[in-house]
Each structure stands twice: as C-alpha cells, then as structure tokens.
Amino acid sequence: MKAWSFWFRRLIASENTTRCFSFRYSMLPNFFEAGFCADLSALDEQVKNRLVDYTYEAGKDNDGVLRAISYQACPGSVIYRRDIAKDVFGTDDPDEIGKLFASFSAIEDTAKKLQEKGYTIFGDTGALRWFSNSSSPWVNDKGEIIVDQDRLDYFDCAVELYQKEYVAFAPEWSAAWYASMAGPLPMHAEWSALDEVAGNETTQIFSYVMPSWGALIVRDNAGDNKGLYGVCSGVCSFFGGGTFLTVNEYSEHKEAAQQFIEFCTLDDDTARWWLEASNGDVVSNLAVLEENKDYENESFGNQKTYSFFMGEMDKIDYSLVTGYDDACKDAFGAAIISVQKGEMTKQEALEDFYKVVITTYPELSIPADAPIYN
C-alpha cells in the first residue's frame, strides 16, 4: 500500500503527470460534458458486476459510457442517540426507531414527543432535504418540474419543525452542530457563544440525517457519547457525496492512471485495508462488504452498520436522479426558509421556486397540475 501511495504522490506532483483525479459525485456531470474524463469502458463489466450498483450508474455519462469509478459508497441513514431513544420511546432498536422517521407526518409526531422531554429532533430543518427525492424525480421525462404531495409534505414539515421550535437552530457544519454530538447546547445556538450555556435554555439533539460518511463525523465528535449512537432508515433511501476517480482525457499516461484506479476501486485487498483504516466508512466493493456484514461497530452500540448500509443501498432508486437536482433542491430550500421566517406565504414561495428554476433552466416547464395553480 505504501508503495502505491508514494507512486501516486509522485504522479500528481510531476510535471508530466498521469492525471488521475478524484471528484465528488455532484461534480461529475460537468466534467463529463466538458470532455475531461477518459473512456473507462474497458473496466465496465468489472465495475458493473463487482461494485455497488448506484455508483456504477453515477459513473456513466449521458450516453452510458463509463468515465468515473468510486471506491466509496455513501448510502443514507438517520443517526440517532440510543440513550435519548430509550428515555423518550422506551427502545433504541433501529427498526423501531426507523418507524419514527418513516414519513414526514411521523417525523412531526416524533419531534413533538421529543420536545415534551426537552430534546430537539434535528440541528435544523436542513436535515429534511435528504428526503426530497422520496417518490419522484425533480424533473420528469417531459422536462416538467415536479412538486408532488411528498414534496409538499416535506415543505410543511420543515415549516412546522422550525416554527414550533422542534429543532435546535444549530445549522449543519456550524460549531454548535459539531458540539451537539457530545452533549447539550443552548437553543438558538447559532446566535449564542457555546461557552454561555449557563442561564440559557439548553437542549440535546436526537438525530442527524446524513450519508454513511456522516457516521464518521458523529463518531469523531461524540466525545463521551461515543457508543451511544445508532443508525436507522428514514422517509426514503438516499445517497450523497462519494469519491469518484477518473482519468484526464488529455493524459499521456492513461494506462498507468487506469491501473491506479483499478487498484483503488477493484482490488479486494485495497477495499479491506480501507474498511480497517477508516473503521466505519463504506466501500463500493460488494464482495468485501459481504465479508464484513457481521462487523459490530462499537461506536454505534455494536450495531452491524455495514449490514444496515448494504440494505439501504439495495433500496436506492437511481432513476430518480436528474441533472437538475441541485438547482431544484436549493431553490426549494430557499422557498421553505422564506415561509419559515414569515417573509412569504406558501403560495408565494412556491411561485418563486418555479420562477428561479425556470430562469436557471429555460428548457424546463411548469406542469398544468403544479400546486401554484390550485
């Protein structure tokens, strides 16, 4: 492993580099369209048969040509506090706790019960965005922007959680959000210094909605709460992020770069090494995941986390993914915030959502049954 790592550092540092680059999933379509990524069809059958299905689909361009491969899989989950679950719901069983997040209405009920015991369900309502692809693609095959009942339920749930203060108002990636994984924090923590807890109303956050790499973030920031977490399913299965490797189309050493990608993604020993080194990250190599399905993760109450994530990956529906997702999610999130803060009515916010997306992508259209016409 060390020899390969040394070679890779030399390659990316040299002037006549092999040009094997890594990207996050959301960046791939732009690089495919720009003609940056070389054809990796020689590896197509191996990737299709040996790696997680959605990662194979994500690595192909619009013509179905394989151009990027991931060593990592990032299925989603709800990461929850087992001790809080027992206190409020009498159980910390992942299957039972998953029922509390099975729909947006269930989430509202769960949040209410948590608040009655002094807890908050999420850091902020942004956690719900991971469930925005629960039933329909954002854009259908007619080029129409879809806001179905599930998305309206998501909208209403986010507004209710915010306005009834069921969340801690500690946005993702804020200092307060990280600190909450280890213990109490003040309500409205984004407006308070974390060392001013005394004298303020405090809360503890019950859960975080994130892809599998988020479990590592919680683990590494849990402090004395390490081991008190579990993972369960939510409204729908999802994925997010992931590291994809690709070869520069203009490289003078494509063969060497492709060999390096094979080593990182298709070599079983490499996948085993990464599972051991990361102690919880999820690889895309199906055989190695199967080997480790009974691994008990001590950071998550000895739960068999690889087995759980394998089940979630089986439920991912890649057909719901479109190239318009990021723009739609961002515009929909902005519409929700405007209603949460009383700046717009729901109707005004939805009209603004459609306007923003249509302005960004003029080729799209608003269907006749869009909720703004009701």
What does the pLDDT profile of the chain (374 residues) look like in tens digits? Answer: 333 333 333 333 333 434 545 445 567 888 888 899 999 999 999 999 999 999 999 999 999 999 999 999 999 999 999 999 999 999 999 999 999 999 999 999 999 999 999 999 999 999 999 999 888 999 999 999 999 999 999 999 999 999 999 999 999 999 999 999 999 998 776 554 444 444 568 899 999 999 999 999 999 999 999 999 999 999 999 999 888 999 999 999 999 999 999 999 999 999 999 999 999 999 999 999 999 999 999 999 999 999 999 999 999 999 898 889 999 999 999 999 999 999 999 999 999 999 999 999 999 999 999 998 76
User: Closest by alpha carbon to 109, among 187, 151, 164?
Assistant: 164
The pLDDT value given to residue 311: 97
Return the number of other C-beta atoms located less than 10 Å from residue 215's C-beta: 25
Residue range(s) in the chain whose domain bears CATH number 3.40.190.10: 2-73+239-292
- Token code pair at residue 217: 């973030």
How far is 146 from 116, CA to CA, in rounded Å? 36
**Confidence (pLDDT) at 26:** 66
Instruction: Residue 287: name the closest of 271, 303, 274, 304 by CA.
Output: 271
Residue 336's CB is within 10 A of a number of other CB atoms, namely 25
Q: How far is it, in rounded angstroms, from Cα 240 to Cα 150?
A: 20
Instruction: Give the angle subtended at the CA of 138 by the CAs of 133 and 144, to the nearest 5°.
Output: 155
Closest CA to 272 of 6, 71, 56: 71
Judged on CB neighbours under 10 Å (0-12, 13-18, 19+), 286 is: middle
CA distance 84 to 280: 23
Superfamily for 2-73+239-292? Periplasmic binding protein-like II (3.40.190.10)
* pTM over the 0.85 mark: yes
Q: Rounded to an integer, what is the distance from CA 160 to the centroid of its chain?
A: 23
What is the gyration radius of the CA atoms in the chain, in angstroms? Answer: 22
DSSP, res 5: H
Half-sphere exposure of 218 (CA within 13 A, CB side): 29
Provide the pLDDT for residue 15: 35
Rounded CA separation 330/338 (Å): 12
Closest by CA to 68, choosing from 32, 118, 14, 26, is 32
